[in-house]
Amino acid sequence: MATVEHQQREEALAEEQGHRRRDFINIAAVSFAGVGAAAVVVPVISQMAPSADVLAGATTEVDLSAIQPGQAVKTIFRKQPLFVRQLTPKEIAEANAVPTSSLRDPQSLADRTKPGKQQWLITMGVCTHLGCVPLGAGEGENKGPFGGYFCPCHGSAYDTAARIRQGPAPKNLEVPDYVFRSDTKIEVGAKA
């Protein structure tokens, strides 16, 4: 009697285990399908990231030799305008006279230039408000009330260190990564 009961119990147990094994396989198969679908998402997303030829053009060399104090040039870095400006001693003094703590985006001129090269102000020509190109880099353009750059779209005014002083823009003009390759040559986009 006991053996029969025992046997039945074992059968039930075996059946139970069989069920579990089968459920496991079904779940595993569905999980594999899920993992496969997730793996396919990787190329689908990353194909939209910059391609190798775009990345290869990610650094630009700029020759500084022709830029006189007080002058600026507009060039292109990563398909966006780049302002390269040599400050006059007066402009440097103006920038240093402003207490950093009074600024919306507190940064000193020294923070925004390379040591010993304080006269070279290299910034993106992209207003931090909504991305217009500010005036002030071209000959005779309106430099705005603070003598730096002035964005005509919504009236953001930048000072001689290209810091935001007035208007809706939240940040100073961005200083990209760049390295001095020589006294007259910089490579923009390269990290030291």
Partner 1 sequence: MVRIIGFFVGLGFCLVLAIAFFTGAYNHITNPPAETAEKEFHLHPKPLALESNGPFGKYDRAQLQRGFQVFKEVCSACHSLKYVAFRDLRDLGYSEAEVKAIADQWVIQQPSVNPDTGEPSTRKSLPADRFPAPFANEVAARAANNNAVPPDLSLMAKARENGPAYIHSLLTGYRDQPAELLKKFPATKTPEGLHYNPYFPNLNLAMPPPLVSDGQVTYADGTKATVDQMSTDVSAFLAWTAEPKLERRHAIGVAAFVFLLVFSVLTYMAYQNIWASKKRELANA
Partner 2 sequence: MSFPWAQHYEPKHPFMRYMDERLPLPRLVYNAIGGGYPVPRNLNYFWNFGVLAGLALVLQILTGVILAMHYAANQAVAFGSIEHIMRDVNWGWMLRYMHANGASFFFIVVYIHIFRGLYYGSYKAPREMVWLLGIVIFLLMMATAFMGYVLPWGQMSFWGAKVITSLFGAIPVVGESIQVWLLGGYAPDNAALNRFFSLHYLLPFVIAGVVILKIWALHIPGSSNPTGVEVKSPQDTVPFHPYFTAKDGFGVGIFLLLYVVMVFFAPNYLGHPDNYIEANPLSTPALIVPEWYFWPFYAMLRAFTVDFILPAKLWGVLAMFSAILLLFFLTWIDRSPVRSTNYRPLYKPFFWVLVLDVLVLGYCGGSHAEEPYLMISQIATMYYFAHFLIILPIVSAIERPKPLPNSISESVLHGEEKESAPLGAGGVLPGTQPQPAE
Minimum CB distance to partner 2, residue 130 (Å): 26
Minimum CB distance to partner 2, residue 24 (Å): 15
Q: Which of 1, 39, 52, 66 binds partner 2 (CB under 8 A)?
A: 52
100-159 positions binding partner 1, by CB under 8 A: none
Active site residue 154: yes
Q: Give the pairing of strands 120-124 and 164-166.
A: unpaired
**Position 48 contacts partner 1 (CB under 8 A):** no
Q: Which of 37, 48, 97, 192 binds partner 2 (CB under 8 A)?
A: 48
Query: In sequence order, what DSSP letters do the residues of 58-86 get, joined into one string?
Result: --EEEE-TTPPTT-EEEEEETTEEEEEEE
Q: What whole-number distance in Å separates Cα of residue 18 and Cα of residue 16?
A: 5
C-beta pairs of 93-101 under 8 Å, 24+ apart in sequence: 94/147, 94/159, 94/160, 95/159, 95/160, 95/161, 95/163, 98/159, 98/163
Q: Is the dihedral of CA 14, 20, 23, 29 positive or negative?
A: negative
Q: Which is closer to partner 1, CB of 29 or CB of 76?
A: 29
**Position 51 contacts partner 2 (CB under 8 A):** yes
Q: Which of 49, 52, 97, 192 binds partner 1 (CB under 8 A)?
A: 52
Give the footprint of partner 2 on this chain (CB under 8 A).
29, 33, 42-44, 46-49, 51-54
Give the footprint of partner 1 on this chain (CB under 8 A).
22, 25-26, 28-30, 32-33, 35-36, 39, 52-53, 56-57
For the annotated catalytic residues, the residue numbers are: 154
